[in-house]
Amino acid sequence: MSAAEPHDHDLYTFFDALAIRWDAQHTAARDDHLARLLAPHHALFDGVRHVVDVGTGTGAFLPHLDRLAPQARVTALDLSSVMLAHAQASGRTCGVCCWLRADAHALPLASGQADLVTCHDSFAHFERPAQALAEFRRVLAPGGALLILHDISREHVAHVHHATGHPRIQAHVLPPACELAPLVTAAGFIVLAAIDAPDHYLITARVCPPP
């Protein structure tokens, strides 16, 4: 992980504390909901050998990666070491070859090594989205894919973050999908889907082919 700015330590503290109670805030129906949301996008996972999961948290998305890309090795990253520890303790270690405490804006990974970058319930927390997207593009191989997914609506994300009372987290909101899509394009992707729905928020994209 690259050296953190001093002001980032309040984020570490927030997410470390949240890790203890995060899983209890979600219902058993969440996995079924995620499976339904992912069903139309199975092609993203075809032939995937290496997934970089950015913002792994307590690992809720890892079983879905294992189901959709069972042969893939997964690099799981999160800003919070406590989140990662909870993911490992939960047994959600499906396919994970490496656990990294890392910042999405400066991924400690070599360029062109991944086939898929996934961000489940994490993209709203990336305070410099263009920089994060540039990092995702850098670590992806030609033909690689990107999945950004929140399994609640953009408005619900804003409500949840506002309720924390934490000034920086309150500012972590998702732009409308139609506004994020041009940023994804500018980072070197072809956008496949940009969805702002009442029950989820989703962007899928592929790396632009060379000219």
Kindly report, residue by residue over 113-148, the tens digit of the pLDDT: 999 999 999 999 999 999 999 999 999 999 999 999
Kindly report, residue by residue over 50-70, the tens digit of the pLDDT: 999 999 988 889 999 999 999
CB 207 within 8 A of CB 143: yes
Residue 107 above 60 pLDDT? yes
| pTM to 2 decimal places | 0.90
> Which residue did the predictor score with more confidence, 24 or 203?
203
d(CA 106, CA 199): 30
Residue 4 above 50 pLDDT? no
CB 143 within 8 A of CB 114: no
Residue 46: what pLDDT? 95
Residue ranges of the domains in the chain? Answer: 6-207
Domain 6-207 = CATH 3.40.50.150: yes
Residue 167 above 90 pLDDT? no
Residue 8 above 90 pLDDT? no
Q: Transcribe 81-144 into DSSP letters.
A: HHHHHHHHHTT--TTEEEEEE-BTTB--S-TT-EEEEEEES-GGG-SSHHHHHHHHHHHEEEEE
